[in-house]
Amino acid sequence: MPDTCTHLEQADPEARPSAEGCEDCLRVGGRWVHLRMCRYCGHVGCCDSSPARHATAHSAAAQHPLVSSFEPGEDWWWCYVDEVGFTVPDLPTFSHP
């Protein structure tokens, strides 16, 4: 496992949040604990502590390995493939209201 993310250059700097909550939970009436935003396409999904784990499911299905926290006051990113967390100071952060 690398010490750094080897997928960062694939992130879309123009990606914006797809919803104010987990878009999959909102569609089916589910609930979430914390939110993550895909840094490839902007899909907002729920974290692995949530019942449906939609962010991880999206990452696997779409083969989009990078997410960032979508929680207020958090600016960290996670790479599912390299299993490494990090920050990217040069790109915008987003959070739900």
Please list, residue by residue across 35-71, b when 16 or more beta carbons sit within 10 angstroms of its beta carbon and e when fewer do: bbbbbbebbbbbbeebebbbbbebbeeeebbbbbbbb
- Predicted local confidence at residue 3, as pLDDT: 78
Per-residue pLDDT of the chain (97 residues; tens, 9 = 90+): 567 899 999 999 999 999 999 999 999 999 999 999 999 999 999 999 999 999 999 999 999 999 999 999 999 999 999 999 999 998 999 999 9
- Predicted local confidence at residue 65, as pLDDT: 97
Domains and CATH numbers, the chain: 8-87 (3.30.40.10)
State the Cα–Cα distance between residues 67 and 45, nearest whole angstrom: 9
